[in-house]
């Protein structure tokens, strides 16, 4: 990801359009949106503005609707809704700043997104992952153990610095969505691995997880580490870092943890987001009942 992720330098976009785009991206940065979110918005909006090549004042509802339909082909409802949200938020910004004078995205265009439950690892799958991780490098094993025992997002693990760790109390300070800072707790296994890892960590480098060039790992690298572990463990499905987050939350809930505590540990701003895990637990209970009690 470019250091100036909130700045578009795409010369294929007209200069006046690029200026407005950069104003919007900068407003997102000021609102403390995550770097990966802003970067994703930038990529989608660059394509949107490249495809039109006309001034914002010339855009019509039909133009936007046609573009959205063409770019929705072959995509899932969730992806379509995300693209629509990006375009809509940009055009709302343009209207507020008087670059356009009409509503250009209609709510009724959004497809209905089926409600899904978070996908989690079961006990056997988690055991396989841990077993395979033991054969990995110290760095990669530590990443997996942190994902398992903290429920952190991939970006939060990536953003960890050495000074964010309190090994004595087994606490890490992470920065989540919206630059929200919270404390998370890690296991004794993590603490042991951290002691070993920090003993060989290069002095003077704050980033906890680095590559051979001593640069902070990318999100893609961490995602590939988890994907490969899933393949090596011979799971019958692909996994991503978020699977560990879902598993962490579901396990806490199954052990009787208070929903408010789980919400705080996950860094959720809305309790409704956390409550979806109760549905996962209910489905597991139903499956167990049907298996053992008919």
The per-residue pLDDT for range 134-190, each reduced to its tens digit, is 999 999 999 999 999 999 999 999 999 999 999 999 999 999 887 889 999 999 999
Which residue do the tokens 């809930």 mark?
A: 253
212 CB neighbour count, 10 Å cutoff: 5
Fold held by 15-109 = DNA polymerase; domain 1 (1.10.150)
**292 annotated active-site:** no
> What tokens were used for 266?
């996950």
Q: Is 216 a catalytic residue?
A: no
Contact criterion met (CB below 8 Å) for 63 and 103: no
Q: Which of 163, 129, 151, 134 is nearest to 232 (CA)?
A: 129
Q: Which of 5, 41, 197, 277 is catalytic?
A: 277
Stronger pLDDT, 109 or 204, i.e. the higher one: 204
pLDDT (tens digit per residue) in 51-103: 987 888 888 999 999 999 998 888 888 888 899 999 999 999 999 998 988 88
Clarify whether 242 is annotated catalytic: yes
Catalytic residue among 153, 197, 246, 248: 153
> Does the annotation count 110 as an active-site position?
no
Q: Which residues contact 228 (CB under 8 A, 6 or more apart)?
A: none
Every domain of the chain and the residues it spans = 15-109, 123-292
Is residue 105 a contact partner of residue 88, using CB atoms and an 8 Å limit? yes
Q: Answer whether 0.85 is exceeded by the pTM.
A: no
Active site residue 268: yes
> For 212-261, what is each residue's pLDDT tens digit?
999 999 888 999 999 999 999 999 999 999 999 999 988 888 888 888 88
pLDDT value of position 292: 46
Place of tokens 């004595």: 168
Q: SS3 helix, strand, coil % of the chain, rounded to 5?
A: 60, 5, 35
The Cα–Cα gap between 56 and 75 comes to 26
Q: Which CATH number fits domain 123-292: 1.10.443.10, 3.40.50.1820, 2.60.120.10, 3.50.50.60?
A: 1.10.443.10
């Amino acid at each position: 990801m470019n250091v100036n992720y909130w700045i578009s330098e795409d010369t294929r976009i007209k200069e006046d359009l690029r200026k407005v785009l950069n104003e919007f991206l900068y407003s997102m940065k000021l609102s403390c949106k995550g770097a990966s979110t802003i970067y994703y918005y930038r990529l989608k909006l660059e394509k949107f503005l490249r495809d039109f090549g006309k001034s914002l004042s010339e855009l019509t509802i039909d133009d936007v609707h046609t573009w959205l339909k063409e770019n929705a082909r072959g995509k899932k409802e969730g992806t379509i809704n995300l693209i629509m949200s990006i375009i809509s938020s940009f055009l709302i910004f343009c209207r507020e700043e008087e670059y356009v004078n009409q509503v250009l995205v209609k709510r009724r265009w959004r497809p209905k997104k089926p409600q899904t439950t978070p996908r989690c690892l079961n006990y056997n799958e988690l055991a396989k992952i841990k077993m395979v991780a033991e054969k990995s490098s110290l760095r990669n094993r530590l990443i997996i153990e942190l994902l398992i025992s903290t429920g952190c997002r991939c970006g939060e693990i990536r953003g960890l610095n050495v000074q964010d760790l309190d090994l004595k109390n087994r606490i890490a300070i992470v920065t989540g969505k919206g630059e929200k800072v919270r404390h998370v707790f890690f296991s004794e296994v993590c603490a042991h691995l951290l002691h070993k890892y920090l003993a060989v960590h290069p002095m003077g480098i704050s980033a906890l997880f680095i590559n051979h060039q001593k640069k902070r790992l990318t999100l893609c690298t961490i995602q590939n580490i988890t994907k490969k572990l899933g393949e090596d463990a011979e799971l019958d499905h692909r996994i991503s870092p978020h699977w560990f987050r879902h598993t962490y939350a579901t396990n806490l809930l199954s052990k009787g943890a208070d929903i408010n505590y789980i919400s705080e540990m996950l860094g959720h701003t809305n309790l409704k987001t956390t409550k979806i895990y109760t549905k996962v637990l209910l489905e597991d209970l139903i499956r167990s009942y049907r298996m053992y009690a008919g």
